[in-house]
Structure formats: C-alpha cells, structure tokens
Amino acid sequence: MSQTRSIVLAGALLLGLGVLAWQKAWIDPVRHFKAPDEPRGDTVLFVVLDTVRADHSSVCGYERPTTPTLQRLAGKEGWSTACRAYAPGSWTLPSHASYFTGLEVPEHGAHSLAAGGEDLGQNTSEQVRPLGSESQTLAEHFAAQGYETVSVSGNPVVSAASGLTRGFDEVRAPGRFGSWYGADFRQQLQHALEAGTSKDKPLFLFLNIADAHVPWAPVPEGLDWVPARPGLDWGQGTLWADFLGGRMAPAERSDLLAHLGDVYDYGVHRADGTLDEALVLLQEWNRLGPGSRIVITSDHGEYLGEDGLLDHGHYLGEPNNQVFLMSNQGGPLPEPISALAAYGLVRDGALPEPLPKVRAAAFPHAQRSEWTEGKWFTRTSAAEWHSEEKVLWSDEEGWAKGPVGDLSASAPDPDLAEYVNAVRSSGIPRGDVDADLFDALKAAGYMDD
C-alpha cells in the first residue's frame, strides 16, 4: 500500500470516528442533559431479586453458576453477604411493604387476608390489603432529603395499586409478570433515567428484577450447566393443581420437578444477568461512583417440590423464606438475620439498632385451597429463626420447635406469642379491602378464578 493511500485511509478513519462521536452526542441529547458529568457517589440503590432462594444462588455456595454478578460484588472490598437471611413476608407485597417501611408484616398489614370473620381457618374468599399511608416509606424519606426517587419493577405488584410506590417520583411497572425481564427491563431503566428531572439531584433507585418469578423463560441450548428446556408457567394446564392435589403419577411428578428446577435456576441466572446490565447502565449514566450505597436482597424464595409444595406465598419453610442479603455498607452481617434489616441499610447505610427479630408471617389463599380440596393454602402461620433452632406456629398445627428441617410439637413459645397474636389479628379483614388492588393482582396473574 502506498504511503499516500495509507494517509488517506487514516484520515477517512479519523473522520469516521469524529462523525460517530458527533452522532452519539447528537443522538443522545437526553443523556447529555440528564446524566451527571462525573460519576456520583451519592446514589442509593436498593435491589430486590424477586423469588431468589439463597440455596439456589452460587454466591451462597450453590453448585450451579447461577449468580456470577452477585459473586463478583460479594468479593469486592467492603461488601458483606448473609446467606441465612429470612424474608419477613411470604410473597411480594408483605415483604416489600416491610422493606419500604421497616415494619413487620402484622404492623403494616399489607398482605392477603383470611376472609370470613374471626375463624381464620374458614375463609371463603381471597382479599388483599394494600400498604396504607400511615408510615413513611423509604421513597418518602429520600424525597424529603432532596433525592430524585425512581422505582423500576419487573414485578407488577410493585405499583400504585399496592401502595408500594408511594413517594417515588418516577414509577415503572408492567401489567403482567414476564413482560419486563432481561433486555426489556434494561430499556425501562433507561427510560426512567431519561425521565429524570435533574442531574444535580442525588438518586434513590429501587429495582425489582423478577426474572426468577414465573413465567420462567425457556432454557436455551448451549449452556454447560443446565439442559435446554421449554419455558414454564402457572397457567400451563393444571400442572400445579394436579401436583399439589396429589393427582399426578410419580414419574410425571419427578419429570415436572426436574423441569421446574432447571427453568427456575435459569431464571435466577437471568435475574443476576439483568442486575449486571442495570449496573452497567447506571455506570454509563454516571449514577454509580465511589461511595454509592447498594443493598441487594430477595423478597421470598420458591418451593420446588419440598414438603410436597410448589410456588411461594403461604408456607414458611426454608425454600419460601431463606434469601440472601448483601450490602456494601454497614459492616459484617450477622446470621441468621431478618432481610428487614435492608430497611436500615438502605436508609442509613447501617444495620438498624436493635436488629429486627428474624420473623415471618403467612396467610391462607382461599382459591388455591379449593384447587387442592382443602389440602393446602388453608393456614395462618408465623415463624421465628434463632441461631440453632426455628419456632413455627400455625392455626392448624399449633406450635413446633427444633433445628431447621426437624421440628417437633412444642409448648407455646412465650417470645413469639405476642407476634402470633398480632399475625392473627392482622389476618382479620377490617372492611378496608381494596378492589383495585385485587383487580390489578388478578390481571397480573396472581389470583385464580
């Protein structure tokens, strides 16, 4: 190649790069005006990876490489991870209401109710109570401190109808599960950043990443740790009801559980990947810098056949409630710990004092009880975890105590008795059932006709 031709080519290349750079600035005026010029360290980021069990997360030692992003974060200086963290509620609404207010489930009362009066075992219809306006939420706290407050959720429950988004300036949530997973979630986060009003304000950002929640995406070919599988959803035939109702042959049951385990693990992996994409986007927008406060947890787990159960929301076994809690501030996290400690970590960058007790509550579900001819979904229950043992109460089976996984009937536990009374009262409808929330949950796929 002649020297002249090389110079011409080099010149053309430089001109091309210049045009590209100019186009980028021109195409992306939103970011130019709304992203800070330098990385801001005052962002507070609270992430819930919905439906992620601690024991199916590689950051907590699971043999499948489901959570490489969490592992990378956990290995960074200043980060602490608790793998014996317990969600305070049994499904999205009660746990998020606790995380946003710092209150235990019977204190805020946002959950499904045992309808039908005082007799909690005889409920006849499902009702749901949204988060009331009595207590300040994290978003209201940060808004009062001058933060821009943004919520982007792949889970439709984190929306206005549930009361969970009170205090957020910008709220993004889909109408149904499965709409905003993976790249779609990233795009929604980008839209939320573009909608920001000022690059001079600090940001409080809440993300609910729901890729591990049903409907589970198909597992593609080519992964060396999980076989390719079709996707799976609640609405597919009567799989769930047949399994729970004991109307499934043993071979069919084990096939379903193997399938479920694979698509669930792939869902956890996708949730972790979506988190990574969100972190990259926030870095590009200069919204993560040294000093940024980051807290990550889950709102509940998922039964994958243990104890004959599937799904989440109504039983307080380890598959339903044991999650992880991670933070880059607040020092070492003790275990067991209530994931409700996330409230203090997010608000103050420190563990709350005193630490919340490691407790959870769950309530019945009338429609699902009908599915299983009253076998499941009929009880109100409460649990408390200590370092060596667990205490469990339900209105059907009374009190039990012992090492996790080996409980036996026991006398009432005086420490938990007050909480149990509060849970029982909280399960009684007060005439304030919210039809809008019920309709929204039904549209999202949460309720069954």
Using CB under 5 A, list all residues that contact Zn ion. 50, 92, 299
We find the least distance from the C-beta atom of residue 87 to Zn ion, in angstroms, to be: 9
We find the least distance from the C-beta atom of residue 363 to Zn ion, in angstroms, to be: 15
We find the least distance from the C-beta atom of residue 145 to Zn ion, in angstroms, to be: 27
Return the number of other C-beta atoms located less than 10 Å from residue 262's C-beta.
20
Are 57 and 72 in contact, with CB atoms under 8 Å apart? no
We find the least distance from the C-beta atom of residue 92 to Zn ion, in angstroms, to be: 3
CA R_g for the chain: 23
Nearest to 267 by CA among 111, 155, 151: 155
Which residue's beta carbon is nearest to the bound Zn ion?
Answer: 92
Dihedral angle, C-alpha 145, 146, 147, 150, nearest 10 °: 100
Q: Which is nearer to Zn ion, 148 or 299 (CB)?
A: 299
Place of tokens 């309808």: 115
Q: Which is nearer to Zn ion, 126 or 299 (CB)?
A: 299
Dihedral angle, C-alpha 283, 288, 290, 292, nearest 10 °: -160
103 φ/ψ sector (left φ>0, alpha ψ -120 to 50, else beta) = beta
Are 213 and 176 in contact, with CB atoms under 8 Å apart? no
- Quick one: 226 exposed, middle or buried, by C-beta within 10 A (0-12, 13-18, 19+)? middle
We find the least distance from the C-beta atom of residue 312 to Zn ion, in angstroms, to be: 7
We find the least distance from the C-beta atom of residue 357 to Zn ion, in angstroms, to be: 22
We find the least distance from the C-beta atom of residue 91 to Zn ion, in angstroms, to be: 6
Q: Which is nearer to Zn ion, 50 or 170 (CB)?
A: 50
Q: What angle do CA 264, 265, 270 make, to 5 degrees?
A: 95
What residue type is assigned to position 340 of the chain? L
Q: How many alpha carbons lie under 13 Å from residue 219 in its C-beta half-sphere?
A: 22
Q: Which is nearer to Zn ion, 176 or 247 (CB)?
A: 176
Q: Which is nearer to Zn ion, 92 or 159 (CB)?
A: 92
Q: Which is nearer to Zn ion, 149 or 208 (CB)?
A: 208
Burial 51-86 (b: 16+ CB within 10 A, else e): bbbbebbbbbebebebbebbbebbeeeebbbbbbbb
Residue 151: phi and psi, rounded to 5, are -125, 125
We find the least distance from the C-beta atom of residue 155 to Zn ion, in angstroms, to be: 6
Distance of CA 140 to the CA centre of its chain: 20
Q: Which is nearer to Zn ion, 90 or 188 (CB)?
A: 90
Q: Which is nearer to Zn ion, 299 or 434 (CB)?
A: 299
Q: Which is nearer to Zn ion, 35 or 444 (CB)?
A: 444
Residue 137: phi and psi, rounded to 5, are -95, 165
The DSSP output letter for 331 is S
We find the least distance from the C-beta atom of residue 313 to Zn ion, in angstroms, to be: 9
Q: Which is nearer to Zn ion, 123 or 321 (CB)?
A: 321
Question: Residues for the chain: how many in total?
Answer: 449
Q: Which is nearer to Zn ion, 299 or 318 (CB)?
A: 299
We find the least distance from the C-beta atom of residue 127 to Zn ion, in angstroms, to be: 19
Nearest to 340 by CA among 94, 43, 42, 70: 94
We find the least distance from the C-beta atom of residue 268 to Zn ion, in angstroms, to be: 13
The DSSP output letter for 357 is P
Q: Which is nearer to Zn ion, 50 or 262 (CB)?
A: 50
Q: What is the DSSP string of 173-225?
A: --SSTTSS-THHHHHHHHHHHHT-S-SSS-EEEEEEE-TTSSSBPPBPTT-SS
Angle between helices 183-194 and 250-284 in degrees, nearest 10: 30
We find the least distance from the C-beta atom of residue 311 to Zn ion, in angstroms, to be: 11
